[in-house]
Amino acid sequence: MDILASSNAAYLPYLAVMLTSVRINNPESEITVWLLESSVTDKDLDFLKKCLEGQHITVNRIHVELDDALTEKLPHTRLWSLETYYRLMMTELVPDTVDRILYLDVDMVVNGSLKELWETDLEGTDMAVCADCNGLTTADSMTEIQRKMLKEALADSDYHYFNAGMLLINLERLREHYSFETYLSAMKDWDYQMTAPDQDILNYVHWRHLKYVDWRKYDCFTVRAYEQGMTVDDLRKNATIIHFAGEKPWNNVSVHYPTEEVWWDYAEKTPMYLDFLKSFVHSAMTSYESVVNSVMAATGAAGTIRELQEQVKKDHDLLLQASALIKKLSS
């Protein structure tokens, strides 16, 4: 099984969690990873391989270089890094001996066997995909530019805007019909004003040649799942690929949901588990005052917010206890 991933050095620990989850649930598979990167050093790569030691996963690094002039044009944010565009170069970068590849976002875990997905008959299409955002993305929820540029696709009742976090890619077909220049031309059509950077472009280019697979099984968003009434046990039982889209379970910068617990299930299986816990607790202890104060300033609801602040301080005390426990466990 060939897996494609894009990452910078900072995200390698989370890539290790994702790959560990692949191995745990696919013990008999021969796994080869093609890592697209532009800043991963030999030391960084050694760190990743050490995290995966004993798992019999082959990691091949593919270095990517983008022209500075192009880089300046590409929209990117804290949640949409430049690395997300690298998969658009896959037809040129992945060896010709690979004719099928499974792209997985780093912020995913694999919670079951990939055999059925990997052996999916693509029926001559470009790729197998899942409807975006647990099937909740519609024309009404799109931005004006998305509705404009995807107007023809949206008029087709068989089309669903898809999420690019999981793609089972027919590389043999893509090499015959597409190249990086295809995607660059599409970006020019959009005047580089994409809302969901390369995801918009992949939808724009490939919408006519897709095979849809069930998002509940192969690209289940945890926060949306919670909002749709699913529990963490539902995900553990039914979802093969779980996606932590948006704010991440390892960051303490937003509200967290019980369904995110699945990520921690697999993080615990890695050598970085205590580091993840320390980082999470440290973030929680150092950010709460600034968050509360900013809410107070924005809303002027001083009384209500002060009550909230008192509760947060109590939670802070609990976090201090958790920190002490972590130190005890790591000593």
What's the token pair of residue 39?
């800043």
**Alpha-carbon distance 186 to 149, whole Å?**
10
**Alpha-carbon distance 15 to 221, whole Å?**
18
pLDDT of residue 72: 67
pLDDT of residue 152: 98
Print pLDDT tens along the chain (331 aa): 999 999 999 999 999 999 999 999 999 999 999 999 988 999 999 999 999 999 999 999 999 887 766 666 676 655 556 777 889 999 999 999 999 999 999 999 999 999 999 999 999 999 999 999 999 999 999 999 999 999 999 999 999 999 999 999 999 999 999 999 999 999 999 998 999 889 999 999 999 999 999 999 999 999 999 999 999 999 999 999 999 998 899 988 777 899 999 999 999 999 999 999 999 888 777 665 555 555 555 555 555 555 665 666 666 666 666 766 776 677 6
Say how many CA atoms lie within 13 Å of 95 toward its Cβ. 10
pLDDT of residue 282: 81
What long-range pairs does 43-50 form, CB within 8 A, spacing at least 24?
Answer: 44/9, 44/12, 47/12, 48/12, 48/15, 48/16, 50/271
What's the token pair of residue 207?
């919408």
Tens of pLDDT, residues 156-211? 999 999 999 999 999 999 999 999 999 999 999 999 899 988 999 999 999 999 99
Distances (CA, A) of 97 to 93, 100, 117, 238, 311: 11, 9, 20, 33, 58
pLDDT of residue 79: 54
